Amino acid sequence: MYDDCPKADRDGDGTSDGSHRTDGGGGDGDYDRDGDGDRGDDGEHRGRNAERLDRENPLAGFRDRFAIPEGECYMDGNSLGLLSADAEAAVEAVVDEWRELAVQGWDAAEPPWFTYGERLGDRVAPLVGARESEVVVANSTTINIHSLIGTFYNGDGKILVSELDFPTDHYAIRAQLRRAGRDPDDCLEVVESHDGRTIDEDDVVRAMDEASEGSEGNEGDGGDGTGVEILFFPSVLYRSGQLFDIEYLTEAAHERGILAGFDLAHSIGVVPHDLSTCGVDFAAWCSYKYLNGGPGALAGLYVNERHFGRVPSLPGWWGHEKETQFDMDHRFTPAANAGAYQIGTPPILAAAALDGALTPIEEAGIEAIRGTSIGLSEYLIDLVDDRLADQGCAVGTPRDPARRGGHVAIEHEEADRISRALRERGVIVDYRPPNVVRVCPSPLYTRYADVERVVAEFEAVLETGAYERFEPATDGVT
């Protein structure tokens, strides 16, 4: 579907051999550094004009639809996206329906509340490259991981993860391993990082093979219990922003009889995906980052249609087939599609916020969003190299656009205190241990001028030592 996607530079030689494709894309990765039609050399950003780049940005007009805190330079959209006028209007419309229709809103509202999860799934499906029937919006990310792992894990082998994953993924997987009577310390196979930033995809494939050595390897069941049964990886690492090649990992997993599942929390809404064509088995994600669905927004999940008919491990009445849901039969009849993974009654106000938030994303188009995201992040990386490297900063995010998501990790030994000094100056970033300031130029509302301001403030904080008056963080996050 995304044949023009940039190819990852896997060997670090600055070239791409195209032997492994990435399912993320929407930009050609060839950033025109000076705006004259040529890429130019590294460091030439001095001649670039942020104001001109902002005028040329095809998404510039969307900024006015978002509520940006007054005086702030907001660079934390990878943690919580901003409120759009569209989301606000959708919530207000549902409040009016609640007032005027009360319980009849389940059938008479527009759209009817009864099928809100499926409706939202239909709208999100193009963002992940899936069929509408394969996607539903429901529950929270952690609950969906519990449900999916519990459904697909047969209890016969190992689950392969990364040491750089977001913790909740491991919490849920360990719980499901215990539920299946397995020891997580034996059955959770962890791929280690060589640099504390990234995971080598070839190490992932090597781990599939090494964990399965000596196993008889029945397809998808881990054989005698020593092989890998499920690969569960993030699409983008939450700390460094490394983007994985989902197609490559899925193909490698399937060749070895392993199911492939992914956490798309840090890519949905900023990186195009093609889950159905790649044959991904299942995936989960949140909606409060690049989808701008609001704090604690409803999450989403994908299940490939070849797995329809499985009974979810966490069934609930909202996942019952709609036609007979109100027969109140005590035996669960799952919906014939991804809707089966809904558990409880959906929070309609939260659903409405996401419904509205999807409108500007649809209007902009995910390919254009990705293209602008690459441009903004490349601009940021260039500025960091030129103005902050001599002051102890390093870019911890892969430089190949095909290997990074939407945010940039700036590393410094005083990252925790620097992040708080920046916030005091109105630059909203966040900190992740041990040494990362995450900066996210979310493409629907961030300007190139904002990127300039972030680096200028960062430089001032370092030059003046403004961070030194802050005590080291004790809670680990800003």
Q: In sequence order, which residues have a C-beta less than 8 Å from that of residue 464 and are 6 or more positions away?
A: none
Are 103 and 237 part of one and the same domain? yes
Are 245 and 331 part of one and the same domain? yes
Contact between residue 391 and residue 462 where contact means Cβ atoms under 8 Å apart? yes
CATH number at residue 346: 3.40.640.10
Domain boundary among 336, 362, 388: 362
User: Residue 289 catalytic?
Assistant: yes
Classify residue 79: in a domain, yes or no: no
Residue 196 burial (C-beta neighbours within 10 Å; 0-12, 13-18, 19+): middle
The Cα 371–Cα 381 span in angstroms is: 16
Q: Looking at 290, 438, 447, 467, which residue is catalytic?
A: 438
Classify residue 308: in a domain, yes or no: yes
pLDDT in tens, 417-430: 999 999 999 999 99
User: Which DSSP letter does residue 390 get?
Assistant: G
3-state secondary structure 117-132: HHHHHHHHHHHHCCCH
Q: Looking at 31, 114, 153, 288, which residue is catalytic?
A: 288
Are 286 and 431 part of one and the same domain? no
Q: How many domains does the chain have?
A: 2
Domain boundary among 321, 339, 362: 362
Are 294 and 420 part of one and the same domain? no
CATH number at residue 394: 3.90.1150.10
Classify residue 66: in a domain, yes or no: no
Are 192 and 251 part of one and the same domain? yes
Classify residue 123: in a domain, yes or no: yes
Domain extent for 249: 91-362
User: Residue 438 catalytic?
Assistant: yes
User: Residue 171 catalytic?
Assistant: no
Q: Looking at 34, 166, 203, 387, which residue is catalytic?
A: 166
How much is the pLDDT for 49? 85
Domain boundary among 339, 362, 385: 362
Are 142 and 212 part of one and the same domain? yes
Per-residue DSSP letters for 325-381? GGG--SS--B-SSGGGG--S---HHHHHHHHHHHHHHHHH-HHHHHHHHHHHHHHHH
Are 227 and 114 part of one and the same domain? yes
Q: Looking at 65, 289, 370, 425, which residue is catalytic?
A: 289
Classify residue 349: in a domain, yes or no: yes
The Cα 373–Cα 55 span in angstroms is: 15
pLDDT in tens, 231-258: 999 999 999 999 999 999 999 999 999 9
Are 272 and 331 part of one and the same domain? yes
Are 159 and 206 part of one and the same domain? yes
Are 417 and 299 part of one and the same domain? no
Are 227 and 304 part of one and the same domain? yes
Are 374 and 271 part of one and the same domain? no
* pLDDT < 50: residue spans in the chain: 1-47, 214, 216-224
pLDDT in tens, 62-89: 999 999 999 999 999 999 999 999 999 9
